[in-house]
């Protein structure tokens, strides 16, 4: 793996910071790793080694401030900054330390209106396990739902085609799956699932009239059984569920979607398949997408399609 490596972090706007800290730390089961002078709170999943993958920021509106991906090294960051500028997007350099334990970041606004950033350095604090003869899990792996990593995000906004061109031609992502619009509209791609690794998706975009919207942040669970256990924990804590437990046709993922206390949607996700970079993209037609969303029921859930933050 070279170039862009993987999802790194997302900063989420929340309405009640301490209520949200309780949710993400004690119910979802993330590990709190720091707080900064702006009042932001940092978390990571138990099996992540870098300092943080989720940052909570108090706000009067829910949603996502920015999403960041980690790149191979500083030379790669410099090269990609030049390539993004050549593509036609202005970039901004944010200094090391602007986020706790994080190096310089290159930020730019995507055609869909989202703030996206790349970085090469973040302090590694480990997963609580030794590097020699480690056990298979740490004590943090049994708190709350205990996801293993921040896996991907789905973002809504206009000009998905512009995002596809940027991510494929400049950032080196592969198109893994796509959703076509109605035939009478000429069947443009209204949804794209892209990977910089061998996952079914590291990031996805869906066409939407308003820019910069968050559909969900997804947290990886090690097994389908752990997704079901997460559903039990949601029920015990009266967490409102949007969809699931069910299985997607798109990506073959096993899933539950629910809402955090601010109304931001999150996903507990397992399964999927592992495409190689030379795999052909899978296409879902508009009339087949009901099974793409919810394969067992073949149902287009209204809230899933319309509620964003």
Q: In 3D, which of 206, 163, 192 has the Cα closest to residue 283?
A: 192
Average pLDDT taken over every residue of the chain: 96
Q: pLDDT tens, 160-173?
A: 999 999 999 999 99
Q: Stretch 278-287: mean pLDDT, rounded?
A: 93
Domain extent for 187: 151-306
Confidence label for 92 from pLDDT (cuts 50, 70 and 90): very high
In this structure, the answer to whether residues 101 and 60 fall within a common structural domain is: yes
Q: Give the Cα separation of 255 and 263 in Å (integer).
A: 18
In this structure, the answer to whether residues 166 and 277 fall within a common structural domain is: yes
Q: Stretch 152-164: mean pLDDT, rounded?
A: 97
pLDDT of residue 187: 64
Q: Stretch 37-42: mean pLDDT, rounded?
A: 98
Q: Give the Cα separation of 241 and 235 in Å (integer).
A: 9
The answer to whether the beta carbons of residues 176 and 276 sit under 8 Å apart is no
Length of the chain: 309
DSSP per-residue codes, 175-199: EEEEEE--GGGT--EEEEEEESSSS
In this structure, the answer to whether residues 302 and 168 fall within a common structural domain is: yes
Q: Which CATH number goes with the domain that contains 221?
A: 3.10.180.10
Q: pLDDT tens, 58-79?
A: 999 999 999 999 999 999 999 9
pTM of the model: 0.96
In this structure, the answer to whether residues 300 and 159 fall within a common structural domain is: yes
Which helix (DSSP H) or strand (DSSP E) does residue 67 occupy? strand 63-71
Q: Stretch 35-47: mean pLDDT, rounded?
A: 98
Residue with tokens 């995002």: 163
Q: Is 267 a catalytic residue?
A: yes
From 81, 216, 254, 291, active-site residue:
216
The answer to whether the beta carbons of residues 309 and 59 sit under 8 Å apart is no
From 101, 104, 189, 267, active-site residue:
267
Residue 296 CB-half CA count within 13 A: 8
Task: Provide the b/e sequence for 224-243 (b: ≥16 CB within 10 Å).
Answer: eebbbebbebbeeeebeebb
Structural domain ending residue among the three candidates 142, 161, 191 = 142
From 114, 152, 215, 291, active-site residue:
152
Q: Is 216 a catalytic residue?
A: yes
Q: Stretch 229-253: mean pLDDT, rounded?
A: 97
In this structure, the answer to whether residues 160 and 113 fall within a common structural domain is: no
User: Strand pairing of 189-195 and 203-207?
Assistant: antiparallel
In this structure, the answer to whether residues 192 and 53 fall within a common structural domain is: no
Please count the other Cβ atoms lying within 10 Å of the Cβ belonging to residue 31: 22
In this structure, the answer to whether residues 52 and 83 fall within a common structural domain is: yes
Q: pLDDT tens, 178-200?
A: 999 987 556 689 999 999 999 99
In this structure, the answer to whether residues 117 and 179 fall within a common structural domain is: no
In this structure, the answer to whether residues 77 and 100 fall within a common structural domain is: yes
Q: Give the Cα separation of 85 and 89 in Å (integer).
A: 5
Q: Is 9 a catalytic residue?
A: no
The answer to whether the beta carbons of residues 266 and 259 sit under 8 Å apart is yes
Q: For the chain, how many structural domains are there in total?
A: 2
From 24, 156, 208, 257, active-site residue:
257
From 9, 51, 114, 201, active-site residue:
201
Structural domain ending residue among the three candidates 108, 142, 176 = 142
The answer to whether the beta carbons of residues 290 and 252 sit under 8 Å apart is no
Q: Is 301 a catalytic residue?
A: no
The answer to whether the beta carbons of residues 269 and 254 sit under 8 Å apart is yes
Q: Is 201 a catalytic residue?
A: yes
pLDDT of residue 62: 98
In this structure, the answer to whether residues 178 and 124 fall within a common structural domain is: no
In this structure, the answer to whether residues 109 and 34 fall within a common structural domain is: yes
């Amino acid at each position: 793996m070279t170039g862009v490596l993987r999802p790194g972090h997302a900063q989420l706007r929340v309405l009640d910071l301490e209520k949200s800290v309780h949710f993400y730390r004690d119910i979802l089961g993330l590990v709190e790793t720091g707080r900064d002078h702006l009042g932001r709170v940092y978390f990571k999943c138990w099996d992540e080694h870098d300092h943080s993958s989720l940052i909570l920021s108090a706000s009067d509106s829910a949603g996502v401030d920015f999403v960041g991906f980690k790149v191979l090294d500083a030379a790669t960051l410099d090269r990609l900054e030049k390539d993004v500028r050549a593509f036609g997007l202005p970039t901004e350099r944010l200094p090391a330390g602007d986020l706790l334990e994080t190096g310089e970041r290159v930020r730019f606004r995507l055609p869909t209106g989202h703030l996206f950033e790349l970085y090469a350095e973040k302090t590694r604090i480990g997963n609580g396990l030794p590097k020699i003869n480690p056990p298979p899990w740490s004590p943090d792996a049994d708190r709350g739902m205990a996801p293993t990593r921040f896996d991907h995000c789905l973002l809504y906004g206009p000009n998905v085609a512009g995002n596809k061109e940027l991510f494929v031609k400049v950032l080196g992502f592969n198109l893994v799956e796509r959703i076509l619009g109605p035939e009478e509209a000429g069947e443009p791609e209204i949804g794209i699932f892209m990977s910089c690794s061998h996952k079914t998706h590291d990031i996805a975009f869906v066409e939407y009239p308003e820019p910069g919207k968050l559909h969900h942040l997804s947290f990886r669970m090690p097994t389908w059984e752990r997704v079901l256990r997460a559903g039990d924990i949601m029920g015990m804590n009266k967490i409102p569920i949007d969809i699931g437990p069910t299985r997607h046709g798109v990506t073959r993922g096993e899933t539950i979607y629910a809402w955090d206390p601010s109304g931001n949607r999150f996903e507990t996700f397992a399964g999927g398949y592992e495409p190689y970079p030379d795999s052909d993209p899978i296409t879902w037609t508009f009339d087949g997408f009901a099974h793409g969303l919810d394969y067992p029921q073949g149902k287009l859930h209204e809230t899933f399609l319309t509620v964003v933050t």
